Structure 1
Amino acid sequence: MKYYLCRYLPPRADFLATMTDDERTWMGRHGAFLDDLLAKGQIVAHGPVIDPDGSYGVSLYRIEDDQDIEAITALDPIVRNGIGRYEHFPMPHLKARD
């Protein structure tokens, strides 16, 4: 298994306060996408981080060795629709409960 901390970076620092109706719709689909991966066991946890300098999202992934984290996060509806991007950080020594 491989583990990654993935950080979703929205398109602007005040994104949570200034989302358009379309962006809000895509964020709902983003949440459903992550919840599905959580149910499948590919995500250990996910959620927003409220930061005064600009909020962002964090997901902790647990994927098979033959899977590509960038390919998985590229399927996220917010990424597919150009609403932000992900950063991927490998965690080679993560200890987690099953």
Structure 2
Amino acid sequence: MAEWIFFMHPPRDNFIATMTADEKSAFSAHRDWLARLDTAGVLLVAGPTLGTVNTGVGIFTADDEATARRIIADEPVTSGGFMRGDLRSIQLGYLNSRSESDPVA
């Protein structure tokens, strides 16, 4: 099993604050897509970067690049043309075991 990082590049600055109704609808479907990846046990982490440029980042597992590409093909925001997707392999050097209830140091 390998890890993959998926970047979702926004079409404009301050994308989160300026989303159109169609973009918001695509993100509703995107949340459902993430939930399916989580249920399948392949999603490790996902979320947007904050600030002016709201690049989305998701890290998930897949056996190979072909499988990873099949997974992202179902992502509604990039497949719908609202953002540009960029898939890359990633080698996780460390994945902590801190739970959500642990305090941040």
Q: TM-score if structure 2 supplies the norm length?
A: 0.78
Map 1:11-26 to 2 at 5 A: 11-26=11-26
Q: State the one-letter code of the partner of 1:44.
A: L
Which residue in 1 is equivalent to 2:100? Answer: none
Which residue in 2 is equivalent to 1:74? Answer: 73
User: Is residue 3 from structure 1 mapped to residue 11 from structure 2 by the alignment?
Assistant: no
Mapped to 2, the partners of 1:49 and 1:92 lie a distance apart of: 20
Number of aligned positions between the proteins: 97
1:13-50 CA distance string (max 9 Å, x none):
22111111111011111111012101211111111110
Q: CA RMSD in A?
A: 2.1
**Contact 1:3 1:94 survives alignment (8 Å):** no
Which residue in 2 is equivalent to 1:88? Answer: 87
Identity %: 26
Task: Give unpaired runs (5+ residues) of structure 2.
Answer: 98-105
Choose 1 or 2 for highest CA Rg. 2
Which residue in 2 is equivalent to 1:60? Answer: 59
Which residue in 2 is equivalent to 1:34? Answer: 34
Q: State the one-letter code of the partner of 2:45.
A: A
Could you say what secondary structure the match of 1:68 adopts? Answer: helix
Q: TM-score if structure 1 supplies the norm length?
A: 0.82
Mapped to 2, the partners of 1:66 and 1:17 lie a distance apart of: 33
Task: Give unpaired runs (5+ residues) of structure 1.
Answer: none
